[in-house]
Structure formats: C-alpha cells, structure tokens
Amino acid sequence: MRRKCSHYVVIGEVLYRKSFAGPLLRCLSYQEADYVLWEIHEGCCGNHLGPYALAKKVSLVGYCWPSALHDAQELVMSCDSCERHARLHHQPAALMRGIVTACPFDQ
C-alpha cells in the first residue's frame, strides 16, 4: 500500500499521479473521464484515434484514471464514424483446404 501511495500526491484537494518522466497527471472521476475521452476523440480537433493511441494521448495531455484503455476501447467501438471508415477485414471467399501431394517437397 505504501508503494502505491508513493505514486500519488494531493495538491489543493486535487489528486495527481506522478508520471515516470513527465508532469503530474490529474486523476479524473468517471464523468470527467468520459468527457475528456470524447473531446480528444471527436472534439473540434479530434481525429478519431484508435484505442491505444487515444489512451496514450490522454496521458500526454495530462490526465489519468484506472480504466483509461478499457474506456477508450469502448468509445472507439461505439463510434459510428470509426465503424464506417475502419479498415475492412479481408477474409477468403471459401474455406481454405490443404494441398495434397504425393511426396514431400513435390511441386
């Protein structure tokens, strides 16, 4: 518990998390976190990042909460624009079958 507590600091009734090589990250409630995710993903300068890039961008902006990656994945999966413009998964038209040869390395 002491080791986990050493990563956090309270400044003026606001909880911050110490990052490894950057500034203090402000810990957010879940309502604030939803707004920050939406603003970064779809806001005025939003560029519809993927879930991992979105979670990384949140930490670079200076915010953190325990389930940031999971919340980013849910937001990206529920975004209509991301679903419409995502890369298509190319699956074969028929099931794949093995090639039968008379002996090994025969062409």
Over residues 10-20, the pLDDT tens digits come to 999 999 998 88
Structural domain that includes position 69: 2-85
E strands, 32-98, in order: 63-64
- Residue 16 domain-assigned? yes
| Residues of the chain above pLDDT 70, percent | 94
Q: What's the mean pLDDT in 59-63? A: 89
Mean pLDDT for the chain overall = 85
**Domain count for the chain:** 1
98 found inside a domain: no
* DSSP label at residue 33: H
- Is residue 96 one of the residues assigned to a domain? no
The CATH number of the domain holding residue 48 is 1.10.340.70
What is the C-alpha separation between 91 and 81, in angstroms, rounded? 22
pTM of the model: 0.71
Residue 104 has pLDDT above 80, yes or no: no
Joined tokens for residue 103: 């002996």
Residue type, 84: R
